[in-house]
Structure 1
Amino acid sequence: MFTILTVLTALISIMFIVSVASTVTALRRETEEDKRLHGKHSVF
């Protein structure tokens, strides 16, 4: 029983870490795209 709970906890932790990592990656990509777009279409 304890082993099953430990494995489930590990899987949930791994899924959480992967989710956070993918979110950070997506935000970085979005920030880079915003910088490129603002650089090309700058009013000044």
Structure 2
Amino acid sequence: MFTILTVLTLFISSMFVVSVASTISALHRESEESKKLNKHHKAL
């Protein structure tokens, strides 16, 4: 029983870490794209 709970906890925490990492990378990509768009608008 304890091992099952431990495995579930590890699985849930790893999924949480993966979701946070993907969110951060997505935000980073969006900020880079917005910087490129801002440069393009300034050129016009």
**Given the two structures, how large is their TM-score scaled by the length of structure 1?**
0.93
Number of aligned residue pairs: give it. Answer: 43
- How far apart are residue 42 of structure 1 and its match? 1.7
**TM-fit CA distance, 1:40:** 0.6
Q: 1-side partners of 2:10 and 2:2: how far apart?
A: 12
TM-score, length of structure 2 as denominator length: 0.93
Structure-2 separation of matches of 1:31 and 1:18: 20
> Hey, which of these two has a bigger chunk of helix by percent?
2
1:36 to 2:36 alignment: yes
Structure 1 segments (4+ residues) deviating >6 Å: none
Q: What runs of 5+ residues in structure 1 fail to find an aligned partner?
A: none
Give the share of equivalent positions with the same residue, in percent.
Answer: 65
Does 2:34 match 1:27? Answer: no
1:28 Cα offset (Å): 0.3
Structure 2, unmatched stretches of 5+, are: none
